[in-house]
Amino acid sequence: MPVNLGAPLSWKSAAGDDKAMLENLQPNILKAHTREFLSMFFVRFADQAKGKALLRALSAAPAKFLKSALDHLNEVAAFKASGTPGTSYFGVGLTKPGYDLLGVPPAKQPGDTAFRAGMATQAGALGDPAASAWEAGLSGAHAVILVGDQLAPPQAAAVLKLKALLAAHPGVTVLVRQNGHGQHNDNEEGIEHFGYVDGRSQPIFLNEDLAAEKLGKDGITTWDAAFPIGRAIVADPAAPTPAKHFGSYFVFRKLEQNVKLFKKEEEKLATRLGLTGDDAERAGAMIVGRFEDGTPLAVQFAEGSCNPVPNDFDYSSDSEGGKCPYFGHIRKMNPRGSGGFEPLAAERLHIMARRGQTYGVRTDGLNDGKIANKPTKDVGLLFMAFNADIGEQFEFVQKNWANFGGFPKVAAGVGAPGPDLIIGNGARPDVECPVQWGSAIGVPPRKTTRTTKAAVTMKGGDYFFMPSIAFLRSL
């Protein structure tokens, strides 16, 4: 039977076209591949022959580099059953200029309009700095090659293996290498550099993972984490059999974080609102929508709901923004049916599979609670996300949720939320905050105060398509 893009997939029982799809799909798309240590190589090819030769070598069977999504899932199952470690992650994405150089006819190239235009052409519409100000090498590549592993030694060995392959293929130039590695709080949960648990709310595409979310975490009663695989993958038009061979649009953005500025702004907001003692932590939670340990502000007035970090919630009990303000980052980025412009089913079409990784070396105490020693540059997030439709997913979210000051719609008598205070671009109006958690509209204390300063700078990026392994082997 044809691959059903309209529902989650049961990978353990996959057969026929479903199995063929998994055997030729790159890993890290339908399920995140563990990669605490990651290197991204942005490369250009001297000519068509050089590009094809490298891509064939990366995908040649038996797999020494690229493994399939099915191989990855079997490795995960083996590790859970017996502790057998899996192999390193390799991923390959191509830009529109990369497809052109390889001589793929336009009719057989991925057809997404945003992909074909490239991220640099969208800088103005996305509110980004002009592409001329971006870091060199983060755009203009023909391809990106990702190398990751849970542990540093095997990741370093995998990088050496890739470097040897690149050396054996003259005519392939590395424009820039970008390294990332995970950051963790004292509970060993992944955090971003501002100190907040990151990546908890993800679309789940595999029924086996959905069962684990239901039984092993906080459940799926309130928020349905199940998403159809068609929100992450599309048929690969250049593959030998597009009905069986799939890929995904890969969005990459380097987001630099000024940690010292952000922590100062948290402190200033708490002071302006008169929050003291343990309650001062709620100022940062208003900005993010979660406390540092991941506790959603819509659920509790203080942190303490970790292990597991909650995801089974919505904003139905906070329709007036008296718990989590409308401008809270996770509320703007995933309104969970409360956006006010579209029904829930339409809102869910914009959700992406995020696979980000922090970058930069920290010399301060990551979780020491100090501000003066925090970095102002050279650390941040390598934002990565898989999309079935860049315009409907990443670009829609950035333009209409993150940047749009009128999203989400607010209850009568409440001020507009303004742009997202983490990744939003544009003028920042004053914000209305509940001085006491759960305060109703018109019932003091709520306070309108000046907003926080922007502490994230977009440094560059691009749009790629992660093609099927079958296509790469066919070159």
Rounded mean pLDDT of 121-143?
A: 97
In angstroms, rounded to a whole number, what is the distance separating the alpha carbons of residues 370 and 28?
Answer: 35
Instruction: Tell me the mean pLDDT in the region 350-363.
Output: 96
pLDDT, tens digit (0-9, with 9 covering 90-100), for 389-432: 999 999 999 999 999 999 999 988 888 999 999 999 999 999 99
pLDDT at 437 over 80: yes
Q: What is the mean pLDDT of the chain?
A: 96
pLDDT digits (tens, 9 = 90+) for 243-287: 999 999 999 999 999 999 999 999 999 999 999 999 999 999 999
Residue 412, pLDDT score: 86
As a three-state string, the secondary structure of the chain is CCCCCCCCECCCCCCHHHHHHHHHCCCCCCCCCCCCEEEEEEEEECCHHHHHHHHHHHHCCCCCCCCCHHHHHHHHHHHHHHCCCCCCEEEEEECHHHHHHCCCCHHHCCCCHHHHHCHHHHHHHHCCCCHHHCCCCCCCCCEEEEEEECCHHHHHHHHHHHHHHHHCCCCEEEEEEEEEECEECCCCCEECCCCCECCCCCCECEHHHHHHHHHHCCCCCCCCCECCHHHCCEECCCCCCCCCCEEEEEEEEEEEECHHHHHHHHHHHHHHHCCCHHHHHHHHHHHHCECCCCCECCCCCCCCCCCCCCCCCCCCCCCCCCCCCCCCHHHHHCCCCCCCCCCHHHHHCCCCEECCEEECCCCCCCCCCCCCCCCCCCCEEEEEEEECCCHHHHHHHHHHHHCCCCCCCCCCCCCCCCCCCCCCCCCCCCEEEECCCCCCCCCCCEEEECCCCCCEEEEEEEEEEECCHHHHHHC
Q: Which residue has the higher pLDDT, 63 or 358?
A: 358
For the cut 80, the answer to whether the pLDDT of residue 440 exceeds it is no
